[in-house]
Amino acid sequence: MAPVHPPSQRVELARAKVNLALHITGQRPDGYHLLDSLVVFPQIGDRIALQSAEKLELVLEGPFARDLEGPTDDNLILKTVRSFADKADIPNPGIRLTLTKRLPVSSGIGGGSSDAATTLRLLEDFSGTYLQEEELHALALSLGADVPVCLFPEPQIMRGIGDELDPGPELPPCGIVLVNPKVGVSTPEVFKSMTRRDNPALPLVPEKFETLGQLAGYLASCRNDLQEPAIGLCGPIGEILAALETDSRIELARMSGSGATCFGLCEPKDMLDIERGLRTEHPEWWIASGPLS
List, by residue number, the catalytic residues: 17, 146
Contact 23, 35 (CB under 8 A): yes
CA distance 286 to 199: 31
∠ Cα 3 6 12 (to 5°) = 65
Q: H helices then E strands: how many in the chain? A: 9, 12
Identify the burial level of 205 via C-beta atoms within 10 angstroms of its C-beta, where 0-12 means exposed, 13-18 middle and 19 or more buried: middle
CA distance 197 to 19: 18
CB atoms within 10 A of CB 166: 9
CA trace torsion 174, 39, 126, 140 (10° rounding): 180
Reported as type and span, the H/E element at residue 120 is helix 111-127
In DSSP notation, 48-101 reads EEEEE-SS-EEEEESTTGGGS-S-GGG-HHHHHHHHHHHHHT-SS--EEEEEE-
Alpha-carbon distances, residue 224 vs 37, 176, 219 (angstroms): 9, 17, 10
CA distance 269 to 175: 8
